[in-house]
Structure 1
Amino acid sequence: MIRPTGTPASGGRRRRGWVWLIVLAFVGFGLWATWTLVSGLLHLESVSMAAARGGGPRLEEVLLEDHDAAWKVAVVDLEGIISSDFMDPMGYDLVDLIRAQLKRAGEDHRVRAVILRINSPGGEVIASDELYRAIRRFQEEHDKPVVAVMENVAASGGYYVAVGSRWIVANEMTLTGSIGVILSTWNYRGLMDKVGIRPYTYKSGRFKDMLSGARDPSEIPPEEREMLQALIDEVFDRFKEVVAEGRNAAAEANDPEGRRLVENWEDYADGRVFSGAEAYRLGFVDELGNFETARERALALAGIEDANVVRYQRRLTFADLFPLFGRARVEPVRVDLGVELPKLRTGHLYFLPPALVP
């Protein structure tokens, strides 16, 4: 058989062309992957440096309501149990996130007011106090009002945070109040005796094993109970001080529209939960309504006619995956699109209704 002259040579060139194309594709992919990895590491380093300087979590602005206005009202959400537990791999907690949102709202000259949307039963004592102080400081430094709007529940620590606001709006059926402090622990000595386990404790001082659940109740000295109760009373006094401080400051700033606490308001600060309607009657909130009510009030306090409504949400990048890779050696990596509430710990002071404390 006679083959056309030059056919094998041209076929070989086509095969070599495909080989080079595949090689270039792999080289290109390798360069892209290397660049992505290096840029991610550099970005992670810059994030770590920013965090060390107090930069906080990265946020992006999301438009909730577009009213074609020049001004903006920022919505900050306080959802779930107030805790100092880490929320993400970068090591930021709820307090860090809300502080960062307030900072963003303060630096944006177009943001004229903030709506603090609360749906929380309370939480840790220190975290609640930090948020209260952050809200008061934001209003003093930036002269922008914060309007708190209570949704399903804003009790105990949730109310503690709310009283830092200029104005408080509650639904008639909102569960609020629960002004008080709780400390809970377990005593499992009886169970240990049943299974034949006896603890041996060596301590440097008489009260070093305070709150230990391994002791027989008869071994707990009465002085320890008195000290713990004194600690509870001290934190409780601070709670009542914050309520009086926040509500009186709001009443002065909102005079004559704002509501003042009734004279015997401390009689209701015994841990009880009451409705939004009752809270309004007692002066714990300024107005009954919903989110739209809070928006209208924020516009009025800011002295503007209309504004777009925005919120700030956590922005995750490729760099956020690296801490997960580092932790994968000691524990499995879980990817969850929901929110996991922090675990309540015994022996910690909480602003929470008793039913929520273990």
Structure 2
Amino acid sequence: MSDHDRDTTPPVLPQRPQHQPRSSGAGRWVVMFLFFTLAGMFLLGGWFLSSVSEAMDSLAAPTDLYTETIVRSGETAQRIAIVPVTGIITSYGLSPEQNMVTRIKKQLDLAAGDERIKAVVLRIDSPGGEVLASDEIHNAIVEFQADTGKPVIASMGGMAASGGYYVAAPCRLIVANKLTITGSIGVIMQSINFHGLMDKVGVQAVTFKSGANKDMLSPFNPPEATSDEQKKILQDFIDSTYEQFAGIVESGREKKGHRDTKHAKELVADWKDYADGRILTGAQALELGMVDKLGNLDAAIRLAEDIAGITEDTARLVRHDPPVDIMGIFRLFGKSSTPPAGSTVKVDFGLNPISLRPGLPYYIAPHLFAQ
């Protein structure tokens, strides 16, 4: 380096010592504050979720809090309970506590336990339904009358066919409008067959079974695959269930010990000729002895008053309404109405008939009901 360069080069300034910031407790306090805040939020959130869960459980839990609704005012100590049987008779509902069978049994229990209730009017407007559900309601009515001595009067609305008549049969008396659709005494069991459709779309079903009859009514087998033995098994089952129905009609209509002989009508000798699944009007059913009187709900109530020894038009009419199942409503709205694309095949036949569960027997008139 030359003398000139040394003269022009600026001197290097000495570095100033850097002072390290003194640690402060403020940072630790911030960290602790954040930690306890988050912990509190987690605890509060857990408590909130637990409270919500308990509240939901209480809403979903079965309850006996039926509400008594006064349908018509009258004498407090002279009451008649109205028990509705409306729509498809089924053991399914929003929840096990909210199905038709459970509700009707509970309403009959409430009527049995209330000494002020002297009679029950079963208001039916139904095309029928499941065999087992119809039979359970029938048995509940039989037991109620036997245990309490209180009469049950059936009042048929616009329709009381098949299973609707089944539940009316044990009632002490049956009142129908002359235009009521009733009858349809019989059993039906259906199975939809997809074999032809599967052939068209190139789909085959592979089945493993323990016995030759295990896949009877399978929708994947060709119809001609149903053997004569299988047809006989199914027909014997249907015939046996039908005989049960016919026996219920005879038991309810012919045993005068459980009915009021003053108002009751007897079955005609050839009534079974009309119990072939055909529908009947209320007027035709009266001629056959399948109902006792023509009239509306008011006529059935007056008949109940007469049998129970209550002055006409003075009874207080009550109805026991089931509690609202909030969780059942949530479950209902939680179900997706639109299945994933490609998961279903819908065939439009131009009508929307009732959906019968394949392989399940029904006391129902399916042509009388559309969804």
Shift of 1:290: 0.6
Q: Structure 2 CA distance, aligned partners of 1:207 and 1:38? A: 47
User: Which entry has the higher C-alpha Rg, 1 or 2?
Assistant: 2
1:67 corresponds in structure 2 to: 74
Counterpart of 2:292 (choices 286, 311, 320) is 286
Q: Give runs of aligned pairs for residues 157-196 of structure 1, distance below 5 A.
A: 157-196=163-202
Q: Distance in 2 between matches of 1:42 and 1:224?
A: 47
Whether 2:221 is the aligned partner of 1:209: answer no
Checking the alignment, whether the CA contact within 8 Å between 1:83 and 1:124 is kept in structure 2 is yes
Three-state SS of the structure 1 residue aligned to 2:266 is coil
Return the letter of the residue paired with 1:243: V
C-alpha displacement at 1:190, in angstroms?
A: 1.1
Structure 1 residue 70, shift from structure 2 partner: 2.6
RMSD: 2.8
> Per the alignment, do residues 34 and 64 of structure 1 end up closer, same or farther by CA in structure 2, a change over 3 Å counting?
farther
CA distance in 2: counterparts of 1:262 and 1:213, whole angstroms? 42
- 1:8-87 equivalence runs, <5 A: 40=55, 43-44=58-59, 48=61, 51=62, 57-86=64-93
1:165 deviates by 0.5
1:351 to 363, 366, 369: 363
Aligned counterparts of 1:191 and 1:39: Cα–Cα separation in 2: 49
- Paired residue for 1:307, among 304, 315, 340? 315
Q: One-letter code of the match for 1:350?
A: Y
Q: 1:145: which partner in 2?
A: 151
TM-score between both structures, scaled by the size of structure 1? 0.79
SS in 2 for 1:182: coil
**For 1:357 and 1:297, how far apart are their aligned partners in 2?**
30
* 1:245-264 superposed matches below 5 A: 245-250=251-256, 253-264=259-270
Give the number of aligned pairs: 307
Distance 1:287 1:251, change over 3 A: farther
5+ residue gaps, structure 2, are 1-47, 338-352
- For residues 201 and 96 of structure 2, the distance between their equivalents in structure 1, rounded to whole angstroms, comes to 43
Over the matched positions of the two proteins, sequence identity in percent amounts to 41
CA contact (8 A) 1:118 1:150 kept: yes
Cα distance in 2 between the residues matched to 1:299 and 1:131: 23
Corresponding residue for residue 134 of structure 1: 140
Measured in 1, the distance between the counterparts of 2:178 and 2:332 equals 48
Kindly indicate whether the alpha-carbon contact (under 8 Å) linking 2:121 and 2:301 is maintained by their aligned counterparts in 1.
yes
